Chain A
Amino acid sequence: MKNINEIINKKFDKRFDISAELQEKLLNISIPFSKKSDSWRYWLVAASILLLLSFHLVNFGKEDQQNEDEIVEVYNENWNNQL
């Protein structure tokens, strides 16, 4: 009787690793459901746009400043000439 009680109260404490084959199968199951993480593509596009924009703004500012300087120079020259 003692033996029977021992058998009944036996604990299933051993844990088995899944085989590499099963692991592969489980990963393959997810493929039709999954999508590649593509957030990096959005970041790349956003960064490129920002870069282009900043170049454009810098050049645009420079050109304006240059034009302004030229106008002031011409005005000063004319003023000097008039004097």
Chain B
Amino acid sequence: MTDLVTPLMNNEEWAYRQFVKEYGKRIYNICFYILHDPSEAEDTTQEVFISVFQSIHSFRGDALFSTWIHRLTLNKCNEKLRFINRKKRKGDMVLIEKQVDLASQDTSPEGLLIKNEEIALLFDAIRSLSENQHIAYTLHNMQEMSYAEIAENMNISVSAVESLIFRAKQNLKKYLIEKLNTDD
């Protein structure tokens, strides 16, 4: 991967284009799988890019550039999840209604994904988890990162990641058993 840090710090236009090309899809997919909503994922991807451009000068090279980008992405997703969860607790169902609408969008890849009943059910279950469990489990299931990388990106220890994923799976199992029994 080309070293983009210095040219980005020097505000070189070509570096921005390259950065969008290299990271756009990756950031969007992480946002989508965490937020389960294509339009929220698009908004968050844009927020991540704005953050990168605004704070590139604070990148000191303590971690890999990709790790720094992932941390920014996860922070933004975490903020968004908290916001969504707060809204849900307040009883504001706007975001949930949006999810239901998606199932009718046959033409979009996201719509097709959500048409998959098992994935839809799993997404529902994931949304019942705490933010940290939600993120750790999603990154693990996306197979983008190892436990060590997840730990590095979430700025926690590897054992904490293992514990988060273990508890996430237990909670998901509990949720799904309850849900499937209720539906029967």
Which chain A residues have a beta carbon within 8 Å of chain B's beta carbons?
A: 4-19, 22-23, 25-27, 29-30, 33-37
A38 → chain B closest CB, angstroms: 10
Which chain B residues have a beta carbon within 8 Å of chain A's beta carbons?
A: 11-14, 16-17, 19-20, 24-25, 28-29, 32-33, 42, 45-46, 49-50, 53-54, 109-110, 113, 118-119, 121-122, 138, 141-143, 169, 172-173, 176-177, 180
A-B Cβ contacts below 8 A, count = 90
In the complex, A33→B13 CA distance in Å? 9
In the complex, A29→B24 CA distance in Å? 12
In the complex, A26→B178 CA distance in Å? 42
In the complex, A29→B27 CA distance in Å? 15
Count chain B CB atoms within 10 A of each CB in A9, A11, A19, A26 and give the residue with the most. Answer: A26
Contact check, A33 vs B173: say whether CB atoms are below 8 A apart: no
In the complex, A66→B121 CA distance in Å? 95
A16 surroundings in chain B (CB, below 8 A): 25, 28-29, 32, 109-110
A74 → chain B closest CB, angstroms: 62
In the complex, A14→B143 CA distance in Å? 11
Contact check, A23 vs B20: say whether CB atoms are below 8 A apart: yes
Contact check, B46 vs A7: say whether CB atoms are below 8 A apart: no
A17 surroundings in chain B (CB, below 8 A): 25
